[in-house]
Amino acid sequence: MANHLRKPVEEVPLDATFEQLGMDSLDSVNLLFEIEDEFDISIDDQEAKSITSVPQMVDGIEVLLARKAASSEAAPPTA
Partner 1 sequence: MNRVAITGVGVISAIGRNVPEFWDSLCEGRSGIAPLQTVDTSTLRFKNGAEVRNYQSSDYFDEKQSQVYDRFSEFAVIAAREAVRDAAIDLTPELKTGGAVVTGACVGGQTSEDKEFEGLYRHNRTRCHPLTIPRIMGNAGASHISMEMGLQGPGFTLSTACSSAAHAIGLAFWLIRSGGAPVAITGGSEAPFSLGLLKAWEAMRVVSPTTCRPFCKDRNGMILGEGGAMLILEPLEAARARGARIYAELCGFGMSSDAGHITHPSTEGPALAMKRALADGNVDPACVGYINAHGTGTDVNDPTEAGAIREIFGDHTENIAVSSTKSMHGHGLGVAAALEAVATILGMHYGILPPTANFTELDPAIHLNIIANQSRPAEVECALSNSFAFGGLNAALAFRRV
Q: Interface residues with partner 1 (CB under 8 A)?
A: 24-26, 29, 32-33, 45-46, 48-49
Q: Which of 24, 27, 40, 59 is catalytic?
A: 24
Compute the least distance from the CB of residue 10 to partner 1, in Å.
Answer: 28
| 24 flagged as catalytic | yes
Q: Kindly tell me which of 16 and 32 has the beta carbon lying closer to partner 1.
A: 32
Q: Kindly tell me which of 24 and 59 has the beta carbon lying closer to partner 1.
A: 24
Q: Which of 31, 25, 29 is nearest to 12 (CA)?
A: 31
Contacts of 59 by beta carbon, 8 Å cutoff, 6+ apart: none
Q: Kindly tell me which of 34 and 59 has the beta carbon lying closer to partner 1.
A: 34
Contact, 15 vs 26, CB < 8 A?
no
3-state helix, strand, coil in the chain (%, to 5): 60, 5, 35
Active-site positions read 24
